[in-house]
Amino acid sequence: MPTDTIGCLDSKQAEALVGTEIEYRADSFRWKTTNVQSSGSSTNMIGAQEFAQDNSGSGSHVDFNRLGIAASAVEQITINHPDVKSAELSQSGSAADPGESVLVEGPNTIIVDVCNTYFEARRE
C-alpha cells in the first residue's frame, strides 16, 4: 500500500510478500513456512488520529486515508507470541512476522503491517 514510511524491508522483500497467504487458527497463525504459536491476543479500537500519531514520525507518515480506510476508528488485533524470526525476513533484521498485528478494515479485509510496510489482505 502506498505510504511514506521508513521500513526495514527492501523492495524485493516487500514484493515477495505480495500474493502470499496468512492462515489464522485459534492458537496459532502461519505465514509461508513460519508457524507461530499464540499465547493470546488483544483487541482494541484505534482512532485515525491515534493511529497516525503512533505510526508516523522520524521521516515516516502513514494514516487511515493513505491506507484506504474511510472509518474514523477500526479494530486493531495484536497476537501475542514468543519471538520468532521468519527465514524470509531475517536478512532484513526484522523480528516482525506478517500477520501478528492487523487492522480490521472490513468483514473480509485486514491491513497487515510488516516492519512499517503495509499490505491489504482479503479472505477468499
Mean per-residue pLDDT for 27-52? 86
Tallying the residues shown for the chain, one arrives at 124
Residue 108, SS3 per DSSP: coil
Enumerate residues 6+ apart whose C-beta is below 8 A from 9: 17, 89, 92, 94, 114, 115, 117
Greater confidence (7 vs 25) lies with 25
Stretch 35-49: mean pLDDT, rounded? 89
Instruction: Name the band, by pLDDT with cuts 50, 70 and 90, for residue 98.
Output: low
Section 18-31 average pLDDT: 82
Residue 2 has pLDDT above 80, yes or no: no
Backbone angles phi, psi at 77, to 5 degrees: -115, 130
C-alpha distances out from residue 60 to 34, 55, 92, 102, Å = 28, 8, 18, 19
- 76-92 residue pLDDT tens: 998 877 666 665 555 54
pTM greater than 0.85 (yes/no) = no
Residue 52: pLDDT over 70 = yes
